[in-house]
Amino acid sequence: MPKNLLDGKPKVQLSLDLQTMADALPTAEIAVKAGVDWLEVGTPLILGEGLHAVAQLHKKYPNHPIIADLKTMDAGYLEGVDVIIVHTGLDERHWEKGKSPLDDLKKVRAAVKIPIQAVGGLSIDQAAQCPALGASLVVIGAPLAVADYELKPGADAHKLFETIQNFVHRVKGT
C-alpha cells in the first residue's frame, strides 16, 4: 500500500458487503458522494462476482483506493503488512452477542506501530470513536450499508447518503 494513503489523517472505508455489482455500484456512488475515502469489495461481493468487482470499482473510482476483503490463511508471509486489522466476523458476532473488535483494540495498538483498523459489529458511535482509540482507518458496513444477513443495501439512497456523510464528518472532525 503506498505510504501517502496512510498520511496520519483518519480514513473512512465503506465495506460493500453485497452480493452483486447491481447493488454495490449505487451504494459505492452514494458513499463516494458522501465523502468516503476507500471502498472495500467485501467477501460476499467477491464470492458473488469474483475479483473483476475490484477492477470494475477501480475503473469507476480511480482516485479511491479499492480494498479487496481476502483472507490469507496460507503463505501469509508473501504479503507485505501495512495495516493491522482487528476484525470480529459476522458469524462470530452472532454466536457471541456483544463481541467487538474494541475488546482487543488497546492491546493491538500497544503492540504495533503501524496503522490499525477496527472492523465488525461496531455501532456508528463506536466506529466514530476509533481514531481517538488509535485506529485511524475506520470501516463502516453491516449493518449500516447492508441489512445484516440479507446482504442488501440497508437504507434508501437519501438516508444512506445522510448517514454516511454525517459519519464521515464525525470521524474527520469536519
Q: What is the pLDDT of residues 71-104, one digit of tens each?
A: 766 777 777 788 888 988 878 888 888 888 998 8
Q: What residues make up the domain containing 56?
A: 10-172
Separation CA 40–CA 33 (nearest Å)? 16
5 located within any domain: no
CB within 8 Å of 124: residues ≥ 6 apart? 140, 144, 163, 167
Query: For the chain, how many structural domains are there in total?
Result: 1
36 located within any domain: yes
CB within 8 Å of 72: residues ≥ 6 apart? 79
3 located within any domain: no
CATH classification at residue 107: 3.20.20.70
- Alpha-carbon distances of 31 from 3, 49, 125, 129, 143, rounded to whole Å: 23, 20, 18, 20, 15
Residue-wise pLDDT for 128-144, tens only, equals 999 999 999 998 875 56
- The Cα diameter of the chain in Å comes to 43
Q: Name the 3-class secondary structure at 146.
A: strand
20 located within any domain: yes
